[in-house]
Amino acid sequence: MKTVKKKSGVATESRNIICEKHYVTNADVKKIREELLKWYDKNQRVLPWRDIAKDEVDNNIRGYAVMVSEVMLQQTQVATVISYFNKWIKKWPTISSLAAAELEEVNQQWAGLGYYSRARRLHEGAKIIVEKLNGNIPQTAEELEKLIPGIGAYSAAAIASIAFQKASGVVDGNVIRVLSRMRVIGVHVSKPGVKDHLWDLANKLVSEERPGDFNQALMELGAEICTPQNPHCTDCSVKDFCQAYLKVKKSTKTGKLDSYLKKNSWTRGKVKPSTEDSVPDIENAADCYFCLPDSVWEENPQVVAYPPKAEKKKSRIEKLGVVVVEKGNKLLMMRRPEKGLLAGLLEFPSVIFPEDASVKEQSSAVDQVLIEISIPIALHSSRKYIGKVVHIFSHIRTTYIIEHLAVDKSVKVSHASKELMWLSEEEFQSAAVSTAMKKVLAFVRKSESSPKKQVSSKKRKLVAEDSKQRSIKSFFNK
């Protein structure tokens, strides 16, 4: 790996030192492939997309199934994806049937999986494949990444190897963890050169005869054995090639980890490794870019020290006012913008409150939302406060401050730029609605079944002004 340093205005080239232990030898590659595939053949989980990839003779059906599974598996656990995948394939069994679907249908089918932009990109990709590629899914990682929106380097390599047996390595979260431990890479993956090195390792390791099975085995190892916490090291088929495991094992010779081994679960109750075993020398080299600093290892002398964790970013805090407007047995819904968070989904009329907004300012903001959808001002004071629901997205902690407004049949709503519609509760449950909105409605229905004195929005505003309370939290906890 090269870096460029500037001294006295002149750029000079220097090299970061990388220890040999961060690479794999040809001999190790051969044994790792053999042991990992042997383990996978015996222990692989039965998953519907694997069955299709294994048994289906049609290239496009096979590629389509793997593509759907890989997009669904982004940021979502396998156990959750299985039922969604089965329903999806039943509804749209081919790439052409998905391309012919309306985006609204796609969003409905995706509801509950989160990260809704994935569904939109999957739909866009299907249309591109049908309209521009004659319905033929690209078979190489390079073409998949280049031609299909939403297919990145990992997904492209996974589809190419699993569906089409192309010898492309994969690097996802599980693989990053396995390879970082296997080759004691003590630098976070976000640092320059680290991910490139991991890709190089993955591409060298991948089996040319069984690339799909090998990649799935490597990912399966990370999911089932080489877990983030309490890894099952003694059950690992490639532990003898794992430098982190050998480093811990070597430390037992000095007695430094005796107490640790007795307390922690990586041994899973089995006999401690013999201190007589021959363990290769894997000490840090001076100035190695990838080596974990000795001081960090001494504080956490265990396998889970790899890979090093990134600093956790705080979630953004948001407060939204949301009004559940009902006319008879119908609920008023608005379409969200086609770009951004929850793109294209339906939601109740809502507004993001400015930070530190007073109760009066929050109420005025909700008033404005109702004015924009043509609900008469005279009805605004009949809004009833219901309560608060918290929903956590991957990077946002959102508090929905919920109000309810019943209007009569004479009220007609409209908006200058947003699509509005009235849905029955049954239609609501099957529509393209986010989990957060379903939580909001469930909270409203629960409040209706629980005897509770409702406080009108107008009265709530007057009380807040009289008491000069700035925070809605302090008002409702009074």
Statement: residue 5 has pLDDT above 60: no
- What lies within 8 Å, CB to CB, of 423 at 6+ separation is 330, 331, 333, 346, 431
CB distance 350 to 320 below 8 Å? yes
Statement: residue 315 has pLDDT above 90: no
At 23-40, the pLDDT tens digits run: 999 999 999 999 999 999
Please tell me what DSSP assigns to residue 58.
Answer: -
Q: What is the pLDDT of residue 52?
A: 96
Statement: residue 453 has pLDDT above 90: no
Statement: residue 42 has pLDDT above 70: yes
Which of 43, 67, 42, 66 is CA-nearest to residue 54?
A: 66
Statement: residue 199 has pLDDT above 70: yes
At 134-144, the pLDDT tens digits run: 999 999 999 99
- Write down the catalytic residue from 35, 70, 102, 105: 70
Is 70 labeled as catalytic in the residue annotation?
Answer: yes
Token code pair at residue 90? 């039943």
Higher pLDDT: 11 or 72? It is: 72
pLDDT band at 386 (very low <50, low <70, confident <90, very high): very high
Which of 279, 275, 205, 193 is CA-nearest to residue 244?
A: 279
Higher pLDDT: 285 or 340? It is: 340
pLDDT band at 295 (very low <50, low <70, confident <90, very high): confident
At 82-128, the pLDDT tens digits run: 999 999 999 999 999 999 999 989 988 998 888 888 999 999 999 99
Statement: residue 17 has pLDDT above 90: no
One-letter amino acid at 192 equals P
**Arithmetic mean of pLDDT, 356-367:** 92
Single pTM value for the model: 0.72
In angstroms, what CA-CA distances link 463 with 188, 469, 476?
Answer: 52, 9, 11
Q: What is the pLDDT of residue 113?
A: 86
pLDDT band at 468 (very low <50, low <70, confident <90, very high): very low
